[in-house]
Structure 1
Amino acid sequence: MKHRAFRPATILGTAALLLLAHLPQAHAEGSDNPVARGHYVADASDCSACHTVKGGPPFAGGMAFKLPMGSIYSSNITPDPTHGIGAWSEAEFARAVREGVRRDGTSLYPAMPFPSYARISDSDMHALYVYFMKGVQPVARATPAADIPWPLSMRWPMSVWKTVFAPAVQSAQQDVNRPFPDPAIARGAYLVEGPGHCGACHSPRGLALQEKALSGSAGTLFLSGGAPIDGFVPTSLRQDRRTGLASWSEDDIVAFLSTGRNRKGESFGGMTNAIVHGTQHLTPEDLHAMARYLLTLGPSHPAAPAWHYDPAAAAELQRGDATARGARLYVDHCAACHRTDGKGYAPVFPPLAGNPVIMSDQPDSLVHVVQSGAALPGTARAPSAFVMPAYGRMLSPQQIADVVTFIRAAWGNNAPPVDAATVAELQKSAPPPVLDGKPVPLN
C-alpha cells in the first residue's frame, strides 16, 4: 500500500458474518436501492480514480495513461448516448467490464483491470450498470484518441493477450468463491481480488505486462509488490517482514484504507487516489474483511530477517555527531518532522524507522518523495491534510542520494545505499513536483 492513530472500528458481529457468508457481492447500507448499491460497488471498484479528471465532471473520462508505446485515455462512462455508454445494454456493459470487450467488439487495453473485474458477481454487475445509467449525469464529451502509432495501435493482438492471460468470467468467479476459513475472509478476498483490483498495482508483471498472479490461490507472487508507477513502487501486501505488512495489525490496515494514515506510515502516489476515491467510502465491516484476508497471505520471502530497531544512528545525532553520509542533510531538512530517532509523529508525520517503503530494494518511492514532495489529503474520517515539501529544486541529485542513503541505513533499516546517478535517472522518469496545481521543472 502505492505510501496513520485511528480508533479501531467495530469488529464484525456474528449476525454480519452469517449474512456475509451468503453475500460475496459488494453491498452497502440501503442496498435494496440498486442505484445506491451500484454507487457502493463503483466506490469499491475505484472507478472514479481513472474515469474522472481532477476538476472535471464525474466519470467523463479523458485521463491519460502513458504506456511504453504511447498514451491511451480513459473512456467516458456516463450515460451520454453518443460519447458515453448510454446506448449500451447491460450485457454489453458487463462484457466490457469483466472481459475487456468494447461494444463494437474490439478489445480494451488491460489498463482497464478486467482480469480482476472478471470476479465481480452478477448481482454487483447489475447494480453497477443501474448506477451508471440512472445515478450518473450524462456528459457529452468525446474521449481523446489514443496516440499509439500503427501498427502498435491495432487492437486484435489484445484478443490473443486476453486468451493467454485473462481468466474467463466463470473460472474467475469460481476461484474467488473457493473455500475460506470464515465468511469475513471470503468477503475480503472478493473485495481485494475482484472490485478492489489490488493486484493491478501490487503484483509483479511479466514481459507481456500481465499480472503474474491474479489471486491468492495462484501462489506467493500475488500482491508481493509491483513495478514502478509514476515514480512509486507498490509495496508487498503480504506478510513479508521487512517490505510487507508483517508488523501491521488488522486495525492498522483498516485505518490506512479509511484515512490514508496510521501508526506505521502514510499513503502517497496512486495509493492516495485509491483511498480518496475508493476505500474510504467502504463500510468498517468491509474494511475489516479486507484486512483479515490480507493477513492470511504468507510472505513471499519467508527467509528474510525481521526488522529490529537499532538506536545507534539516533544516539549519534542526539550527541551532535552528524558525520555519517547524509546525516547533516537529514538533521537540517527531515528531523523536525521525522525525529532523530526516525520514529516520526504518527499519524501526522510517518516513521522512517522500520518503514517497508524505506527498506525496499528499489529506492524509487523514497527518492521521488524527497524530490517531489507528497500531499496527504483529508478524508471523511481524518479531515486534516498534510504536505511534505519538494526538495528537488533545493537539493542536488548527490545531496538527495546522500540523505536517502542515510535514511535507508539508519535505525536498523539496513537497505543498500543510493548514488547520484540513480537519483538523476529516477528524476527523468518520475513526474515533476507540483506547485499550485502546476508541474515545476527541476532544471
Structure 2
Amino acid sequence: MAGACAAAVTAGAVVAGTIGAAAQTPAERGAYLVNTVMTCHNCHTPIGPNGPDMARALTGGTPVFDTPAFKVRGSNITPDRQNGIGAWSDADIEKALRHGVRPNGVPLAPPMPTGFYGVLTPADSAAIAAYLRTVRSSPNKVEMPVYKAAIEREAFPGAETPADPATFSDNVKLGEYLVTIAHCMECHTPREKGRLDFSAIGAGRQEFKGPWGVSVSRNISSHPTKGLASWTDAEIKRAITEGVSRDGGKLKPPMGYGFYARMTPADLDAIVAYLRTVPPRE
C-alpha cells in the first residue's frame, strides 16, 4: 500500500501521549486527528533521515511539490503570528480545511487534500483548530508557493458537505468518514491526465518515487483477487499499521504506517468495515 502525503514514518515517530477517539476535550480530539488519522506531519513537519523530525513538528518547509507548474512547501501551522497560523481565526482555519482558501483569498496549493476535508464534522474542525493553538510555536518562515498553472481543486464524491455524526453508530459510516478525512483514496485511486479517476475509486495504480525507489499504490477495493476481499481483517489492519503485506513482505512508503499504528482499535475496525464495501475495481 502507498498512502497519503509525502513521507514514511516509523511506529515510534509520533507525538507521545496522542489521545484516542474517546478524548474528553476538543484539543485532545484534535491531537488524535492531526497526529494519527490525518497524518498532517507528512507534509507540515520537516523530514529527516528517519522520517518527520518531531522536534520541529508542524513548522513546515517540507517540499511537497517541485514541478514546472508548482513549487510548494508544507506550511508552518504552529501558532506563530508572523509565519504560522497564530493570527488566523477558527473560521479561517475551517475555511482553509474545507474550501482550500487562505484568509487572504489565495487558494491552497495541492497536495493539501481539502477536497476530502469538506466532510469534517463541525466538532472535528473546531477540535483541529483547538489543538493547533496548543502546539509549540515556531517562527520558521516557509517560502510562499509558486503557481505557474491554474489550481484545480477536486472534491471527493460524498465529501462536499459535513458528515452527520449521528450516523457514526453505523461502523461502515464511521469507517467511510475516517477513510475520507485520512484521504486514503487520494493515493489509492488512479489518475487520468493528472486528475483522480473517481470511476475507479480504490483501484490504486498511482506511482510514488522517493528514497525507497518506486512504489505503486495497491488496490484496496473489494475485488476478489486484485483487491482486499480475500484478506482477513487482521491482515488489513497489519498492512495499515505496520506496512506488512498479506504474504509478510514489507510494503513501501509513502504510507504513514507509524501514524496509523496509534489509531484506536474501534477506528481500525470501522475502516476495515468500510473497505469491505468499496465496489470491486480491476
Does 2:187 correspond to 1:201? yes
Cα gap change, 1:132 to 1:169, in 2 (>3 Å): farther
Cα gap change, 1:178 to 1:200, in 2 (>3 Å): farther
Structure 1 runs, 4 residues or longer, greater than 4 Å off: 167-170, 176-180
CA deviation vs aligned residue, 1:135-154 (integer Å, no higher than 9, x gap): x10010001244x4xxx536
SS in 1 for 2:65: strand
TM-score by length of 1: 0.53
Deviation of 1:67 (Å): 4.5
CA deviation vs aligned residue, 1:260-317 (integer Å, no higher than 9, x gap): 225434321101xx111x311110110011011111123112xxxxxxxxxxxxxxxx
1:299 partner amino acid: P
Query: 1:418-437 maps to which residues of 2 (within 5 A)?
Result: none
Deviation of 1:29 (Å): 5.2
Cα gap change, 1:258 to 1:102, in 2 (>3 Å): same
CA deviation vs aligned residue, 1:95-131 (integer Å, no higher than 9, x gap): 1111110121100112100011111111001011000
Alignment partners' CA distance in 2, 1:233 and 1:102: 32
Could you say which residue in structure 2 is the equivalent of 1:258? 241
Alignment partners' CA distance in 1, 2:223 and 2:157: 31
1:255 partner amino acid: R
Cα gap change, 1:212 to 1:262, in 2 (>3 Å): closer
Does 2:195 correspond to 1:210? yes
Partner residue of 1:33 out of 22, 25, 34: 25
1:64 partner amino acid: P
CA deviation vs aligned residue, 1:13-58 (integer Å, no higher than 9, x gap): xxxxxxxxxxxxxx83552222211101112111111111133500
Query: 1:153-192 maps to which residues of 2 (within 5 A)?
Result: 153=148, 157-158=150-151, 161-162=152-153, 165-166=154-155, 171-173=160-162, 183-192=170-179
Query: 1:77-116 maps to which residues of 2 (within 5 A)?
Result: 77-116=77-116
2:60 partner amino acid: G
SS in 2 for 1:83: coil
Alignment partners' CA distance in 1, 2:229 and 2:67: 34
Alignment partners' CA distance in 2, 1:110 and 1:178: 31
SS in 2 for 1:245: coil
CA deviation vs aligned residue, 1:163-194 (integer Å, no higher than 9, x gap): xx3369984336x88989x711111000002x
Deviation of 1:205 (Å): 2.1
Could you say which residue in structure 2 is the equivalent of 1:60? 59
Alignment partners' CA distance in 2, 1:50 and 1:226: 22
Alignment partners' CA distance in 2, 1:74 and 1:224: 28
Kept after mapping to 2: 8 A contact 1:73/1:144: yes
Deviation of 1:253 (Å): 1.1
Alignment partners' CA distance in 1, 2:157 and 2:276: 27
Cα gap change, 1:61 to 1:169, in 2 (>3 Å): farther
CA deviation vs aligned residue, 1:371-420 (integer Å, no higher than 9, x gap): xxxxxxxxxxxxxxxxxxxxxxxxxxxxxxxxxxxxxxxxxxxxxxxxxx
Cα gap change, 1:253 to 1:96, in 2 (>3 Å): same
Could you say which residue in structure 2 is the equivalent of 1:239? 222
Alignment partners' CA distance in 2, 1:290 and 1:246: 14
Cα gap change, 1:170 to 1:187, in 2 (>3 Å): closer
Does 2:276 correspond to 1:287? no
Could you say which residue in structure 1 is the equivalent of 2:202? 223
Cα gap change, 1:34 to 1:177, in 2 (>3 Å): closer
Q: Answer 1 or 2: higher relative contact order, Cα 8 Å, separation at least 6.
A: 2
Could you say which residue in structure 1 is the equivalent of 2:38? 45
Deviation of 1:206 (Å): 3.2
Alignment partners' CA distance in 2, 1:241 and 1:110: 33
Alignment partners' CA distance in 2, 1:81 and 1:237: 41
Kept after mapping to 2: 8 A contact 1:250/1:295: no
Ranges in structure 1 where 5+ consecutive residues have no aligned partner: 4-26, 214-218, 302-443
TM-score by length of 2: 0.81
Q: Which has the higher helix share?
A: 1
SS in 1 for 2:71: strand
Does 2:131 correspond to 1:131? yes
Kept after mapping to 2: 8 A contact 1:99/1:169: no
Percent identical? 28
Q: Which has the higher strand share?
A: 2
Alignment partners' CA distance in 1, 2:91 and 2:38: 19
Could you say which residue in structure 2 is the equivalent of 1:71? 71
